[in-house]
Every structure is written in structure tokens, then in C-alpha cells.
């Protein structure tokens, strides 16, 4: 069985993230979307909220499951029996950082490969940071965030009607 892990902060999950999940679900038998606890970030949404968001918007894919982890990514991947890490790339600047991370992960665990999926061109500009900023001003989020979580995003940022 080909098992992959798509890690990230997903604060919140965007349509760009969801595009990567959908494509990964076609490439692998099982995909774990892992909400990583990153000590260098201060997320707006709790880990539990982010896992819930991911599970809600990926429920249509029978082989995708969301979880969280505060462990080293390669340790989490091994615990799931995975051999692949999926990373989405929006721009060349993403590649520099992600390539460095992939080499580090390969050094830590030679049996795990990183697979890069380029973002669909309509999402190359999109990030969770941009979504949070737009939500603070009560912008229409329908082209940026899965519809199922828009009310949650707006409510959390205190601008819902």
C-alpha cells in the first residue's frame, strides 16, 4: 500500500491545499493530512479546529484522513507506514525551502521520499496568511477557502454577520 503524508499548518486549509490533497488522493492509496504543531508559528485556529476543518473538507475522498502531530515529520510518516511526504509548491521561493527540508528528511530517514506537486496556477498566490487577512475585513472567501469552513473562519476572526 502506498501511504503518503501531506504536512502543514493549514491555518486554515485553503482551496490550494485542497487541490494538492485531491491530486495526492489519486496518486496514493492512503493520504494522511497532518496538521503539524510548529513551535515557530502562532496559529489562529487550534490544532483541533484545523484537524476538524481538514476532515470536513476532505470527507469526499475515501482515502484521506486528517490528524495532528508534534513529532518530527519523518517519525510521524514512519508511524503511519508511509514512504512518501507530499509537498505543494506555489513558487520558486517555496522550492528553495522545501528542497532543503526534503534533503534533511532524506538524511534522517533514507527510505522516505518527498514528492512535490506544483500548485494549480489559479492558487499560486494563495496562502493561509492571505485568507486570514481577507477574513478580517469580511471579504468574500468563496474563491479561497472551502465553503464548508467559511463561517468558521469568519466567526473566529470576529467579523461574521
The H or E element containing residue 117 is strand 113-118
Mean pLDDT of 92-112: 92
Q: What pTM, to 2 d.p., does this model score?
A: 0.94
Q: Residue holding cell 489519486?
A: 26
pLDDT in tens, 42-69: 899 999 999 999 999 999 999 999 999 9
Q: To the nearest 5 percent, what fractions of the chain are helix, strand and coil?
A: 45, 20, 35
- Which residues belong to the active site? 17, 41, 90, 128
pLDDT in tens, 28-47: 999 999 999 876 778 999 99
Amino acid at each position: 500500500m502506498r501511504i503518503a503524508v501531506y504536512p502543514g499548518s493549514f491555518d486554515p486549509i485553503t482551496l490550494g491545499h485542497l487541490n494538492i490533497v485531491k491530486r495526492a488522493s489519486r496518486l496514493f492509496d492512503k493520504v494522511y493530512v497532518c496538521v503539524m504543531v510548529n513551535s515557530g508559528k502562532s496559529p489562529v485556529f487550534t490544532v483541533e479546529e484545523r484537524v476538524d476543518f481538514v476532515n470536513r473538507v476532505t470527507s469526499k475522498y475515501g482515502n484521506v484522513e486528517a490528524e495532528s502531530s508534534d513529532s518530527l515529520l519523518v517519525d510521524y510518516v514512519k508511524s503511519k507506514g508511509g514512504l512518501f511526504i507530499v509537498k505543494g509548491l506555489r513558487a520558486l521561493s517555496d522550492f528553495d525551502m522545501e528542497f532543503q527540508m526534503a534533503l534533511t528528511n532524506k538524511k534522517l530517514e533514507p527510505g522516505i521520499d518527498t514528492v512535490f506537486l506544483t500548485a494549480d496556477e489559479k492558487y499560486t498566490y494563495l496562502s493561509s496568511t492571505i485568507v486570514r487577512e481577507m477574513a478580517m475585513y469580511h471579504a468574500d472567501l468563496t474563491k479561497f477557502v472551502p465553503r464548508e469552513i467559511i463561517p468558521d473562519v469568519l466567526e473566529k476572526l470576529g467579523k461574521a454577520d
